[in-house]
Structure 1
Amino acid sequence: MNYQAFTNDSLAMMYEGIRGALESDDELVSLGEQARFRVRETPDWKKHAADLEAEMISRGMIFDLIDWDDGQSKLPFEE
């Protein structure tokens, strides 16, 4: 995807869309349901987020990174 063609607001909106899909999936899984968007199961989601991050960083944009570990079990020594 040609991320350079998008405005800063468009990049931020796409990135927040990934965050929202991830949060939605995690909530559904916590309720015992199937993930709707399958963000954690589909590597292209993470690549898309990384590509957006790279473009936003190159533009000097400030944003909160997506926490890919949230909603997953942590090893005892990581707490």
Structure 2
Amino acid sequence: MDEKEMKKQMEREHKESEVRTLINRLSASSSDIGDWKIIKCYEAKLQDKPMPYDLAELISERQKVRDRINELQGELESE
């Protein structure tokens, strides 16, 4: 494998790693935008309680992460 191919492979691995990290950010129980916060908001809504988190901000931040995942996956597919 020549230097150019090695660089390309390293870039691909970096993108794949970033995708995994972002996916984990959406689901991890320790994440600031994790699924658990969405569930807590849903539970509050079902019980007519106040939202424990800023739902609009949470959804917006989660969408940014999804957009980045889609961008990276698109780049990986086109390689």
Q: TM-score, normalised by structure 1?
A: 0.49
Larger-gyration structure (1/2): 2
Q: TM-score, normalised by structure 2?
A: 0.49
Structure holding more helix per residue: 2
